[in-house]
Structures are given as structure tokens and as C-alpha cells.
Chains A and B, each alone.
Chain A
Amino acid sequence: MNEDTDSESSLLVVIFDTSLTQDVIINEEIKLSECLEIIITFVNSHLMLKSNNKIAMITCDSKNCQFIYPDSTNEPGQLRQTDGQYELFTHVEKTIRKNVQQFLVKTLEGEIGHHDSLFGAACSIALCYINRLENEKSLGDKMNSRILIITGCGNSGDQYIPCMNTFFTAQKQNVTIDVCSLQNEITLLQQACDITNGVFLKLPQLSSLLQYLLWVFLPDPTVRKKLVVPPPVSVDYRPFCFCHHELIDIGFVCSVCLAIYCKLSPICTTCEVVFKLKAPMKPIKVKKKKMIKS
């Protein structure tokens, strides 16, 4: 039994949204530092489950995203334990704290913008890291990788296209994306969870964040099948249009480049194809986007 399980490891990549303009942070419903403490506890629990489990952490806000852990400049083993804590946990905690703080200081220099956080970019970094580990691992080893996004951002579609592209990449790579939303139903991320078979959870109360993390997100996707976990939410599959970034029920899709528009126009602005419209303003060449049923 041991031989079978020892070759199997689980990689958890946590993407933590540190954008200070999130409503939960602004309204002081939860402190960012508190949130970070909880995440550290959570990743340590993941490491504790099995000795060859791995974690990685990436922070992102509306302008930057950065790899936080593992840190190549700071290898484990340099730290000495202080209060009887397992050295690896101390190392994880110290590295994460230091790098998150550096990341925040870096954003301190620039103006804070109010946009969506860069989940697409962060997921890309995560996928690259996962891919590297997949290539480096020795033959016969099995690694289950997944991404957990923790955010309190709103429901807007600024990043729709880059995000969707990375989500589909994740699906191809067999990487599950889980989302723990601190406040809103985020359509974009719900779709991410749905296509990668992950769990989308909008927290009913912030005070028990750790409990939710441990209960819902700690088990591997393979284990989850055997557990009673929250059922998948019904996903709003409407896309965001290219032109105004708004959710649309009926859209117009360019037959050449597949760009989605909320209004019919005779010229596609993305590929500059000119449609021949037989009757004025009657959608003939433009197909109606079908609503995909959830």
C-alpha cells in the first residue's frame, strides 16, 4: 500500500488576491494580514497531510503578480526552529511573509488602480510552474496539481479573454481550479471552476474562512469524489462582449475571428472584415451566439 501512495504527491498552488481595493478589505470585514495567516495555516495543513505534498503561492493585484513561494533565493534548512515548530512550516511562513510584504511595498510605489486582479496572468505562472514540475519529476511518479484562487474581487469582465484562455489551458493540462470567493458570485471564476471540475465557493461568513478552506479545499479532487462536498453551483455561462465588457444574453459573433459583440456592426473591429448585409441591420451573416445550458 505504501509503495503505491508514496509515488503520488499533490501540488497545491494558492493564488492570493492582495488587491487593496477589494470590498472586503476596504470595508474592514477581514484584515489582509489575518487572511494571510489563515492561508499559511491552510498550506501547512496541506503539507502535513503527506510528506511529499508540495505547495506554491502566487500573489496578484490589478497590476502585478508575483511568485511568492517557493523562493529560489531562500532554501529551506537555513532557518533554525524557534518554538519547536517543524522547520518546513517555519520556512514556509517566513518566506511567504517576507515576499508578500515585498510585493505590497512594490505596489506602494505605483498608484493603486481599480481594475480586476490579474487572474489570467497568475494562473499562467501557476501553470508554467506545474508544467515544469511535471517535466522534472521522475518516471512513475504521479503528481496531482491544482490551483486555488482566494479573492474578494467583484464581478466584472475586464480580463475575460486572457482569463478564459488560461482556464482552457488548465483544463487541457488536467489542472483543477478551485475558487474561494470572499464576497461575490464571480461569473468568470465560476466558469473556470466548471470547466476544470473545481469547486466554487462563495463564503456565507468570513469569520470561519479557515474552516471552509480545511473542509472544502484541503482534500484532493480525487478524494473529493468520495466525500460529501457542496454541490456545483449553477454557472452563468453568458460571455462578456469584446466591446464593453458586459454580460450579454444575445451576442453577435464574427464569422472570421469569432470576436463577440453586443451590437451588430457591419465591420468587425478586430479583424476588419466587412460583412455583406443584404437588408439594412438584419443579422444574416452574423450568427447568434447560443446560450450554453449549464
Chain B
Amino acid sequence: MKTNRIIVFTLLLMLPLASVLANGGSDSAETASKEMVNISWHQIGNPQEELPVVMEEVNKYLGDKFGINLDITVHGWGDYTTKMQTMHAAGESFDLAFTSGWANPFIPTASKGAYLPLDNLLKDYGKDILSILPAKYWDAAKIDGKIMAIINYQIMSNQRGIAFVKEYADKYGFDPDKVTQNKQIFDFFQQIVDNEEGVVPYFNLKEGILPDLNPQEETRYFDDIISEEDRYIGVYLTDTTPTVVNTLISPEYRRDVESVREMLSAGYIPSDFTSLNLDEEVKGREYASFIMTRIKPGVEGENLVRYGKDTIVSGLYKPYTSTGSASSTMTAIGVNSQHPEKAMELYNAVYSDKYLYNLLVFGIKDVHYTDAGNGYVNLDTDKSYGLPAWQFGDQFNAYLMPGQDPDVWQQTMDLDASAVVSPLLGFVFDPSPVRNEIAACGAINAEYKISVYYADNLDEAMADFNKAMEEAGIDRIITEAQKQIDAWLATK
């Protein structure tokens, strides 16, 4: 009997608790005055404790200037895509949202009608954006000829590289800058295998990314058409009459696979490298080099922070600019947005207003950062705050952080200027006519591209691979891609 009463009592206690829990967080947002326009913005990042404090400051500024009350929601890195996909599917209203090839994927969502076409809005309310971002990049955000997202201005080219640990490079007199052939790198790896017990010569990890190792190449062979992961079709970056090819039957691919197999059998890379996580592994092991999927000016300083190692980074090929690299961070306006004009007006301000930009990225001066002079900031304060800088318009507006070169932004722009331009820059593939084939080919590709590294008989394995891809309809994808590319060329 006693326990029964305790249970009833507990349940009764739970009821008021429910209302406490239910009301806990809802009293902060409603204070803005009536005439203000509310703009919601969904972002990816680490949810920030200090966000409300920063937003108060931001809204003071925005309220006076534009009559806008901005509400930023930061979803976690791992949650963002799921959250946005379900919101799109339910047709929920939002004003601004981050989109890209790697989170909240741009092409499928934009071509399925999740975003508003922006051409007219940009002309009327986004003049500064149009003047800042070089015109050649805009095509990368177009679907059916209409701009569906605003491209953020940051590094626009892509270049893969290897980071060599300085300690070992120096010890064996290896100079990464002088490398012209795979063999020279392999010789260095061999010295590590022979002389450094327990040191991994080369971390080249994560399935899905082909372990390029071709420093002698002028440029990377192919531009991918569907996505970075689905590189089974592409066009040669040097092909000016872009012809879509099956990359899996190309001699270049064959050579890549053979070089991986050679590295595996010689022990240059961990035997189960495809099931390892780069950043996880490098924390606990000794290693002499590792892959860098995107290098940019100042990357050696970043490596020092990330991995605690002095490295010499050497590019594997010339940087190149493609639709994928140009559209790697963008912001879209939701199709059900209540105030698309105001949203564009706001984004125009974020893009061009240095004060607003840095307030959003770094927070409030002397609270979240201190001024270190010469455009540098010091983030070492009691309260930590920080949203990804490439998520807000023009990254070249950003304050400099310790370790960055004073002219890092200029270096970045120079790098972009020197980059090889893909013949497909500005072409956006619409996957919907062949979505079944892409689903099937994607699944087959994910399987075989790894198993060919381990197969006893490479010829047989490659033949199986190609046969399976044909069954899955790779030829229909190639035909469709070629058709779309030809149509795109005709409009230029």
C-alpha cells in the first residue's frame, strides 16, 4: 500500500515538472517589437552557448538598420542533414539555410523544389553580392538556368596533397618540393619501412576517396559529374569538348589502383586503411605522411594545430576549379520563406558589411575575442564562441587568427587565379532522369572500388567491377550526362 501511494505521488509530482520543462526555453525570442521582420537562418556547426548573447548584439544592429530580427538555429554537424531533409520534405517555412554538396546536399534538394530561384532577388536586393563574387562562379549554383543558392566567397579551387612530417623528411633527406615521380615518394616510404619500426609511412584513408599519388601529373585527371563519391563517370579536365567517359576503364584509374596495391603489399599504408578514420588514427600513432584532401594557403599552420606536427605539404597536382569546388559552401532561401526580399537584404549585408560579418563569426569584442592589432584577433577569452567563417558570405572579410599569414587572403585569391578551370565549371547535373541507375551504380561502386585493392586477380576483379556497373546502368548515366552537357554547352 505504501509503495502504491509513493507511485501515485511521484506521478503527481511529475505533472508540474512537465510544465516547467515545457516552458523552460520559450521566453527569450518574443521580445522583439511588432514591426520587425523575423528572419530564420538554419546553420551547421557546434551549437553555441553564447549564441543568444551575440544575437542580441546582432539584432540591435540589424533592427536599427534594416528592421530585421534575425534568429539563427545551429544544428550539430552530425544532425544538420537529417534535420533539413525532413524540414524540406514537410515543406516547413524557413528563410535562409546552409547548403552544399556535403551537408544538406544542394542538387537533390534544389532540383526537388526546396529553394527559391534568386536571380531577380539578387538583382533587386543583392547588388553587393553580385559585385563581390566573380561572375564565373555563379553557374555552379544554377539549376535549369536559375540561381538557386548564394555561393559563399572563400577558396574556390581544389587541390589535394600529401603532408610529410618534417622530422622524417629531414632525417632521410627527402625534399617533397622536388618530387616528380611516384617512385621518389615510394623510396622515402621504403626507408621508413626499413628503418622506423612502428611508424606508418603513409596514412591514406577513408573509402570513397581514391588514394591519388601522381605528382608527375599536370592536373588531376577527371572532373566528377555526379559527386565526389561517385567518380565512376567524369570528363578529362583537359578535354575542351567535354566527353563523358567511364573512368573505371581508363588507364589512369588502372594505374591508381595498381599503385594502391603496391603500397599495400609493400606496407606503405595500413593493411586495413579503408576501415580507418584518418584523424582518429593519427592521434595515437607515429606516421611519416598523410593525405590532405584539400590544401590551401596556411595549411601547414593548421596541421600544427590539428595534429601537433610540423609538416611540409606538397600538392599532388595543380589546383583546379570545378562546379563542386566552387559550390562547396552556399546559402539558400527557402521556397516557403515569408520574407524572401528581407532575407536577401540581410544576406547582402552579411556579405558586404565587415562589422556584421565578424560579429556573427567571432562574437563580441572583448567578450569573445580581443583585438590583437593589425587585423588579428585573439580568441583566448573566458567565453568561447565561434561559427564557421565560410558560412557567412565573404570569408575574405574575416579577421586573422594567430598563425595565419597577414596576406593569407591574397595568397588564396592568387591560388584561385592560377587554378586550372574545369571545362564543366558551371555545369550542374540533374540526376533525376537516371536516379535508379545512380542509386544502383553508387552502391556497386562503393563496394568494388575497395575490393579491387585486395583482389587476388586484379584483371578478373576489374572485369567483374565493370560488368556489375554495366548491369547497374552506367551507360545510361553516361548518355544522360552527355545529353545534359551538350544542352548546357548550347546555351553558352
A binds B: no
